[in-house]
Amino acid sequence: MSIIVLGTVALDSVKTPFGKHQELLGGSAAHFSMAARLFTKVNLIAIVGRDFPKQHIAFLKSKGINLSSLIMEKGKTFRWEGEYQGDLNCALTINTELGVLSVFKPQVTDAQRKIENIFLANVDPDIQEHFLRKMHSPKLVGLDSMNYWINTKRKALIKLLKLIDIYVANDQEARDLSGESNLIKAARCLSSFGPRMVLIKKGEHGVLFYSRSLHAKSGLVFSLPAYPVEKVIDPTGAGDTFAGGFMGYLAKSAKINASVIKQALAYGTVAASFNVEDFGLLRTHKLTLKDLERRLIEFKSCFLF
C-alpha cells in the first residue's frame, strides 16, 4: 500500500546551541517522507520555487519518493528561519518567507487520486480540504496543523476535521483548539469534531493517543514516553518524522486495531528520536528499517520491570 502526503518542501535555516545551518532541505512533507519511505511508497505533493536546488530534487528521488506532482513555480521557495535556545522543545521563529507557497494549488495525477492512505501535513486548511476533495475514495486520512491556522482559520480547520480519521497535534495546539487544559479531555473534545482518532504529541514527554472507535464504551486511551535521546541537536521536523513513521506503518499494515496502533506509535516515536540527533534530514536520510527495528527493541525494553 502506498501513501500520499501533502505539505511543504522548504529551505530551513536553523540555529541551536550545537551550531547553525543555512538553507537545509526541510518542510513538513520532506521530513514526513524520510520516515514513511521505510514502510511504503511515498507520493509527495508540494510546491517549490525556481530557486530550489536541483540536487535536492535528485536527493528526494534517490530515496524512492514520487515527485511527479511536485510543482516548480516561478518565484522563491518557502523558507523558514528559527532558533532554539535553552528550551529545545520550542523554536523561536526569526523569519518566514512564504514565496510560492502563497499561490499553491495542489496537483495530483489520475493514478495518485486512487491512493487510499493520505496525510495532510501542515499547510493552510483550505489547501488541505481542496486537495482531499480531489481524491477518489480515501481509506485513511491523517491531518496535522499548527497554532497559526488554529488562530487564523479556526472555522476552516474544524470543518476539515469532519472529513478525516486521525488528527495529529502537539499539546499546546490541542489545548488551544479544544479549550481544554487536560489533554485527555482535549482529545475527547477534538474527536467530537470528527476524527475517530486523536494523537497528541508531547515532545520529550512522549505521545497521548485517544480513539472513540477502537473501544466502543469509553474510548481507547494510552500513552507512550519518548525514546530517551542523550544529545538533542535539532528538533526541527521531529513531529513530521513521527507522523511519517506512524502513518507509514499503518499504510503498510492495511488494517487498524489497538495492537497495530501501538506498534505504529512506537515506530513513529523511534523515528523521531533519530531526527533530533542531527540537523535537518542529515540523520533520517541515512535510516534503514533495520535501524528503526534495532532501536525499537531498545525502546520496548524500557518498559520491562
Structural domains in the chain, CATH included, are 3-299 (3.40.1190.20)
Q: DSSP of 56-114, one letter per residue?
A: HHHHHHHTT-B-TTEEEESSPPPEEEEE--S-TTS-EEEEEE-GGGGG------TTGGG
pLDDT of residue 217: 59
Assign 3-class secondary structure to 28-65.
Answer: HHHHHHHHHCCCCCEEEEEEEECCCCHHHHHHHHHCCC
Q: How far apart are alpha carbons 276 and 14 in whole angstroms? A: 13
Q: How many CA atoms within 13 Å lie on the side-chain side of 292?
A: 30
d(CA 228, CA 170): 19
Give the β-pairing of 10-16 and 79-83: parallel
Instruction: Please report the pLDDT score of residue 305 as a whole number.
Output: 46
pTM of the model: 0.94
Q: What is the pLDDT of residue 215?
A: 57
Residue 57 identity (one-letter amino acid): I
Q: Given this model, what pLDDT does residue 216 score?
A: 52
- Tens place of pLDDT per residue across the chain (305 aa): 899 999 999 999 999 999 999 999 999 999 999 999 999 999 999 999 999 999 999 999 999 999 999 999 999 999 999 999 877 777 889 999 999 999 999 999 999 999 999 999 999 999 999 999 999 989 999 999 988 889 999 999 999 999 999 999 999 999 999 999 999 999 999 999 999 999 999 887 889 999 987 655 567 898 999 999 988 999 999 999 999 999 999 999 978 898 999 999 999 999 999 999 999 999 999 999 999 999 999 998 876 54
